[in-house]
């Protein structure tokens, strides 16, 4: 009888372990892209995961060529990820990663492609809308047209807002009508505040400016729209003191850890994240992979959080799930369905 009881207990333990392995705790990725395989270049390219060096170049050389060569040859990285070669493989590998790691992802990109991914994986894709002034002009994404899109319910998040690449601050008056629309409709807004590719003005974004890394650019916009749900993407890296001051001053502001969780040297990422947590802002930090054309970034980013030696179990769950669930105002039913 005792042997039978012991056998049953062992069996139940193994069953629980197998279930836990098959269904890991849920993760919300606040920053994922539905891109085509060639959206970052005509060939499959590598990205440091993380980079060892960032931006080494002799001024006599064309940095664009230097950067492209570094991605092709992994000259700046000991570990790297490689992009898939086709649009279909991009979608399949990204969705496979979402399922494997039980991830629910705020996913932005071209409208039709995002909706296509949503059809393929309706449960895990939370549609978001990329936006900058160039897209507004090209696709007619005015405040009125965006209001109709968001009222339709097809898209849930306004972002990634990438006006930093255009040299424009979120506090610029030209952006004001869009923030007013999002506040009125209670649409969450994700704004790129921080790093693009190293040497961005010399690659493809001549109006990109380092000063716009500063989260201080959000301040007037937040004051004008106190009910707006906003998260600073990339946590404003590397402007740590500015980010701390903004989080302290504006309690409605959140951040995501997109790109910096897998791309920058891990010692630097951990230093940055630990300071944010130590300062008391652990309840407003959200996970984001910033997977563009490297589906492996999802796993690397999650692993970096789970292995952070200074985070306890509660802090890890807050960053990977709880904080985003609160920010997105998910219902108890929605949260339960993700478990």
In tens, the pLDDT along 91-128 reads: 999 999 999 999 999 999 989 999 999 999 999 999 99
Using a pLDDT cut of 70, give the percent of the chain over it.
Answer: 93
Nearest by Cα to 225 from 187, 282, 257, 276: 187
Q: Residue 246 has what pLDDT?
A: 98
Q: Kindly report, residue by residue over 57-85, the tens digit of the pLDDT.
A: 999 999 999 999 998 889 999 999 999 99
For residue 139, what are the CA distances in angstroms to 81, 86, 161, 174, 252?
Answer: 32, 25, 15, 17, 31
For residue 301, what are the CA distances in angstroms to 31, 121, 270, 277, 320?
Answer: 11, 21, 12, 17, 10
**Is domain 24-338 given the CATH code 3.20.20.140 in the classification?**
yes
Mean pLDDT, range 228-242, rounded to an integer: 98
Contacts of 1 (CB under 8 A, 6+ apart): none
Q: Residue 6 has what pLDDT?
A: 38
- Average pLDDT, whole number, for the chain? 92
d(CA 176, CA 171): 7
Q: Residue 23 has what pLDDT?
A: 67
Q: Residue 5 has what pLDDT?
A: 35
Mean pLDDT, range 220-228, rounded to an integer: 97
Q: Kindly report, residue by residue over 5-59, the tens digit of the pLDDT.
A: 333 333 333 334 334 446 699 999 999 999 988 877 767 788 999 999 998 899 9
d(CA 100, CA 27): 11
Q: Kindly report, residue by residue over 156-209, the tens digit of the pLDDT.
A: 999 999 999 999 999 999 999 999 999 999 999 999 998 989 999 999 899 999
Q: Kindly report, residue by residue over 289-307, the tens digit of the pLDDT.
A: 999 999 999 999 999 999 9
Q: Kindly report, residue by residue over 257-291, the tens digit of the pLDDT.
A: 999 999 999 999 999 999 999 999 999 999 999 99
d(CA 299, CA 103): 10
- 27 phi/psi in degrees, rounded to 5: -130, 140
């Amino acid at each position: 009888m005792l042997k039978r009881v012991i056998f049953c207990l062992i069996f139940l333990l193994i069953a629980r372990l197998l279930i836990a392995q098959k269904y890991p705790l849920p993760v919300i990725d606040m920053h994922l892209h539905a891109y085509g395989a060639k959206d970052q270049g005509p060939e499959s390219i590598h990205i440091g995961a993380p980079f060892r060096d960032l931006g080494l170049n002799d001024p006599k050389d064309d940095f664009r060529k230097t950067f492209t060569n570094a991605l092709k040859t992994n000259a700046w990285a000991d570990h790297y990820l490689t992009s898939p070669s086709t649009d279909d493989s991009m979608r399949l590998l990204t969705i496979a990663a979402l399922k494997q790691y039980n991830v629910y992802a705020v996913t932005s990109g071209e409208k039709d492609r995002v909706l296509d991914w949503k059809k393929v994986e309706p449960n895990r894709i939370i549609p978001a809308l990329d936006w900058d002034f160039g897209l507004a002009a090209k696709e007619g994404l005015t405040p009125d047209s965006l209001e109709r899109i968001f009222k339709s319910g097809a898209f849930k998040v306004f972002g990634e807002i990438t006006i930093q690449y255009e040299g424009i601050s979120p506090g610029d008056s030209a952006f004001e009508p869009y923030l007013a629309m999002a506040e009125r409709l209670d649409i969450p807004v994700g704004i790129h505040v921080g790093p693009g590719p190293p040497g961005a003005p010399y690659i493809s974004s001549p109006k990109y400016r380092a000063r716009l890394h500063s989260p201080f650019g959000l301040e007037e916009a937040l004051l004008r729209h106190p009910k707006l749900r906003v998260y600073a993407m990339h946590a404003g890296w590397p402007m740590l003191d500015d980010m701390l001051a903004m989080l302290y001053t504006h309690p409605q502001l959140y951040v995501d850890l997109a790109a910096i969780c897998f791309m920058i040297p891990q010692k630097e990422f951990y230093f940055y994240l630990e300071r944010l947590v130590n300062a008391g802002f652990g309840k407003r930090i959200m996970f984001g992979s910033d997977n563009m054309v490297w589906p492996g970034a999802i796993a690397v980013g999650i692993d970096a959080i789970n292995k952070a030696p200074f985070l306890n179990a509660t802090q890890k769950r807050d960053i990977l799930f709880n904080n985003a669930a609160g920010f997105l105002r998910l219902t108890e039913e929605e949260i339960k369905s993700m478990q």
